Amino acid sequence: MILKSVLRQQGCLVPAKRLLKANLIVIDDIMLFPVEKINAVTLFNFINNLYEKTSFIVTTNKKPTEWAAMLNDEVLATALLDRLLYQCEVINLTGKSFRMKNRKTIFDDDKN
């Protein structure tokens, strides 16, 4: 399997074996930063091997149309999204970040 050989080269084989058996995988903040080609291909191979066997919860702040730029590859982005969106339920959240809702920051105008 291509995925196992890539993960073995990156020293990730033991955790990957556990993920390959998982019933649910959560990927939080995907596409937060641009993804290097080798990592994008590894992610695609991982999703491609599991998308019909495993449930995924994926969070992102990027629209699907922005993934091509983050991956620097429109074909790969389309293929990855095709697998992630296969038999899925998309939930769009709007409004301010829940994490920031009750948080005071150094940027607040209130100087108390």
Q: 50 to each of 17, 36, 46, 64, how far by Cα in Å?
A: 12, 21, 7, 20
Contact in structure between 85 and 52 (CB atoms under 8 Å): no
pLDDT at 94: 83
Q: Is 25 helix (H, G, I), strand (E, B) or coil?
A: strand
Residue spans per domain, the chain? 2-84
Query: Is the CATH code 3.40.50.620 the one for domain 2-84?
Result: no
pTM of the model: 0.73
pLDDT at 23: 93
Which residue type sits at 53?
A: K
- From the first residue on, what is the mean pLDDT of each consecutive set of 10 residues in the chain (112 residues)? 52 67 90 89 90 93 92 96 93 78 65 51
